[in-house]
Amino acid sequence: MGRRCGVLGDPIAHSLSPILHRAGYAELGLDWDYDAHRVGSGGLPDFLDGLRHQPGNNWRGLSLTMPLKREAVPLVDELSERARWAGAVNTIVFDLDRLVGDPVLVGDNTDIPGAIAAIRERTSAPLATAVIIGGGATATSIGLALADLGVRHLEIVVRSTERAFATVEAVRAHPGRPEVSASRLDEVTAFEVDLVACTIPAHAQDARLVRACSEVPVLFEVLYHPWPTPLAASIGDRVLVGGLGLLVHQAAVQFELFTGQPAPITVMRAAGQQALAERASS
């Protein structure tokens, strides 16, 4: 029987996830489908409840984007260790092997391994110091990934330091015990670190922020739409880790969790690149 998967969030029309996952299904000859569903803040409980009780349930997995990653934590039946660390779920797997009545929902976080793979795909340089711009759920996952990669001094830069509390606490609890601090975005002058990761919208990346990042050797821009962002456009001959790389690598981990088969990552990446090229030319 064909399975169903999907991506939830708001906004969601820009998401490339359906294109990536469908390309993977086609490559492996799977009779599966993957759609985008607009679900805003507060709407996830009803959406999940509707899926749990569908007759002949054939749902296998969900990808979650903003603003649902933290909202999903108390709504699943089980959490993976990395989702528990992050306090954020970007993946829900319907565990049908233990199906007795309603399916068991397992929350996971593929942003962490996806970020590690995306960074190491572009650079093998040692990373000891880093800045993350933004303090949301994605920033937390990026912070944990950087701690896994050896970063020991991490600064979270946000509009208001109160916004960074959850991220600071989660990354400080990493087994590597990195030193984590928070500072205000409007106080930024210049960053002298090994890597800057930016998780804020393109419209919030002003000229002052671009200048502050101008000497950083590795820039991790987690967005892929719109592209290029002001920070990505300023990269010059420095190393750029792009949002498409993060999307592809985290989607590959999701694909394997959903299907139980290795993800055809080259095919999935090519599908994403083609879609972005078509958007740019339209």
**Phi/psi of residue 189, nearest 5 degrees:** -120, -70
| Cβ-Cβ contacts under 8 Å for 233 (sequence gap 6 or more) | none
Give the helix/strand (H/E) hosting 278. helix 265-281
Q: Which residues pair with 220 in a beta bridge?
A: 197, 241
Q: For residues 136 and 66, is the Cβ–Cβ distance under 8 A?
A: yes
Helix ranges (DSSP H) in 163-261: 165-172, 207-212, 230-233, 243-259
- Spatial contact of 194 and 218, defined as CB atoms under 8 Å apart: yes
Q: Which two tokens stand for residue 114?
A: 């996806």
Measure the CA–CA gap between 51 and 74, rounded to whole angstroms. 17
Among the listed residues 3, 69, 82, 249, the single catalytic one is 69
Q: Which amino acid is at 208?
A: R
Q: Active-site residue 233, yes or no? A: no
Which DSSP category does 40 fall into?
Answer: -
Known catalytic residues?
A: 69
